[in-house]
Amino acid sequence: MVPGYMVMLLLLQTGMMGTFVSLDMFLFYVFWEVMLLPMYFLIGIWGGPRKEYAAIKFFLYTLVGSVLMLLAVIAIYYSSHAAMLADGTMSTGHTFNLLALAQQGREGVFTHAAPILGFAFTKIIFVALFIGFAIKIPMFPFHTWLPDAHVEAPTPVSVILAGVLLKMGPYGILRFNYPLLPDATAWAAHAIAAFGVINIVYAAFVCLAQTDLKKLIAYSSVSHMGFTLLGMAAMTPAGISGAVFNMFSHGIISSMLFLIAGVIYDRAHHREIARFGGLASVMPEYSAMTGLAFFASLGLPGMCGFISEFMVLTGSFPTFMLFTVISATGVIITAAYYLWAIHRAFLGKLNPLYQGYPDLVWRERLVLYPLGAIAIVLGFYPYAILNVINTTLFSLIAGIRPL
């Protein structure tokens, strides 16, 4: 079973790397689909008690989005013009080259394409692509596959899912929708922001009702990805930089959170928050790392979560004042459910069942400490990331403004 598990992990990593480096629209779609099968098997074979249900749900949701993406890719290809290829030759009539398609999008080529079913070409294609990517974010109401997938997936698969796969949705929107369909992007900005606010507030309230630690972390991922949507919709320098920085910081923090859930599950063989109690007295190092991850996720100043959320809120306020104010309440709710979880699981009287539980071992320290260090370093020096991304992002939103 171990060789098969490793093969699936390597195939999943191949799909992820290929998706991020592809500059060909068709190749992007191929790698996007390559990720689907290994994740399905990783959850469906090595997952928890309801692994088949979670795997099938993940597969069906992602497949629906992929079908819409495929139709949009075909439509874009047949609406494109000939473009210069890497070898210096011209393509024969149409192109899959993403750089050439982005240039044609800025020149308004797709704006003048023939309508589809009486609707503007760019708006129909934007919606088809956006839904495909929104499922992967996941955006409300397409988010319900994520908690099930996280709860049933093995800890390493949950880490990859939260740390990398969820970022492919926003990446796809920034890679396809923004440069290829700038007019439709401006048209949809308010709707994107509204869905981002729903993600933030709704998922935060759902977290308050969770009794399973891993499901709480899963819904917190849904909530925090709402900040990425809000910042992207604002299309201000601070907003879009904060959105992409939030993708990176969320990848660090959520990976740490799922590893922490995996540590306690290895010892207790359950994740019910109410069944714990007083763990800080027998596992002080583990409790400290959990507190660090929780505070980083709720946006404590001095950690990367605060920088990303602050940038999104300041960048969105001039464009979406009401949405920003509502989103800021999500930070308060986030603090509430994390502090409540700490109080129930780590403070108070020790549950005798957990007397003598071992604290962190070196294998666990080797994965948790570097993530915690990155969260702190980026909280004090975010320009390590911002200096790399800002030039590209600012050129991306040049000429695009919400209507």
Q: What is the pLDDT of residue 357?
A: 85
pLDDT exceeds cutoff 80 at 402 = no
Angle formed at CA 209 by CA 203 and CA 213, multiple of 5 degrees: 85
Q: What is the pLDDT of residue 49?
A: 85
Asked, for residue 402, whether it belongs to a domain, the answer is no
| 138: CB partners within 8 A, 6+ apart | 61, 145, 146, 166, 169, 222, 225
Give the separation between CA 187 and CA 193, rounded to whole angstroms.
12
SS3 state at 350? coil
| Torsion angle of C-alpha atoms 290, 293, 296, 297, degrees rounded to 10 | -100
pLDDT exceeds cutoff 70 at 120 = yes
Cα 339 → chain centroid? 23
Give the separation between CA 328 and CA 166, rounded to whole angstroms.
22
| Six-digit token string for 182 | 């700038």
pLDDT exceeds cutoff 70 at 118 = yes
Q: Provide the percentage of residues in the chain whose pLDDT is more than 90.
A: 58
Residue among 303, 316, 328 nearest 382 (CA): 303
pLDDT exceeds cutoff 80 at 399 = no
pLDDT band at 333 (very low <50, low <70, confident <90, very high): very high
pLDDT per position as a tens digit, 86-101: 555 555 568 888 888 8
pLDDT per position as a tens digit, 188-226: 999 999 999 999 999 999 999 888 899 999 999 999 999
Phi, psi dihedrals of residue 348, rounded to the nearest 5°: 80, -160
Helix axes 25-34, 98-106, angle to 10 degrees: 120
With beta carbons less than 8 A apart as the criterion, state whether 45 and 157 touch: no
Tally of CB atoms within 10 A around 221: 29
| 39: CB partners within 8 A, 6+ apart | 12, 58, 157, 161, 165
pLDDT per position as a tens digit, 352-381: 888 888 888 899 999 999 999 999 999 999
Q: What share of the chain is helix, strand, coil (3-state, %, to 5)?
A: 75, 0, 20
pLDDT per position as a tens digit, 127-186: 999 999 999 988 988 888 988 898 888 888 999 988 898 899 999 999 999 999 989 999
Asked, for residue 113, whether it belongs to a domain, the answer is yes
Asked, for residue 254, whether it belongs to a domain, the answer is yes
pLDDT per position as a tens digit, 248-282: 999 999 999 999 999 988 888 888 888 888 888 88
| Six-digit token string for 57 | 């749900």
Q: What is the pLDDT of residue 231?
A: 93
Domain count, the chain: 1
Asked, for residue 56, whether it belongs to a domain, the answer is yes
| 99: CB partners within 8 A, 6+ apart | 23
Tally of CB atoms within 10 A around 249: 29
383 burial (CB, 10 Å; 0-12 / 13-18 / 19+) is exposed
pLDDT per position as a tens digit, 42-91: 999 988 888 899 999 999 999 999 999 999 999 999 888 866 555 555 55
| Six-digit token string for 248 | 């990176």
SS3 state at 5? helix
Question: How far are the Cα atoms of 76, 167, 226, 244 from residue 170, in angstroms, in the given order?
Answer: 19, 6, 10, 8
Q: What is the pLDDT of residue 351?
A: 79
Quote the domain boundaries for residue 277.
2-397
Q: What is the pLDDT of residue 174?
A: 92
**Cross-strand pairs, 272:** 212
With beta carbons less than 8 A apart as the criterion, state whether 243 and 231 touch: yes
Q: What is the pLDDT of residue 119?
A: 84
Asked, for residue 307, whether it belongs to a domain, the answer is yes
Asked, for residue 403, whether it belongs to a domain, the answer is no
With beta carbons less than 8 A apart as the criterion, state whether 115 and 121 touch: yes
> Which amino acid would we find at residue 176?
F
Asked, as a colleague might, if the bond just before 170 is cis with ω within 30 of 0, I would say no
Tally of CB atoms within 10 A around 148: 22
Residue with structure tokens 């604002």? 234
With beta carbons less than 8 A apart as the criterion, state whether 75 and 121 touch: yes
Q: What is the pLDDT of residue 89?
A: 58
pLDDT per position as a tens digit, 7-25: 999 999 999 999 999 999 9
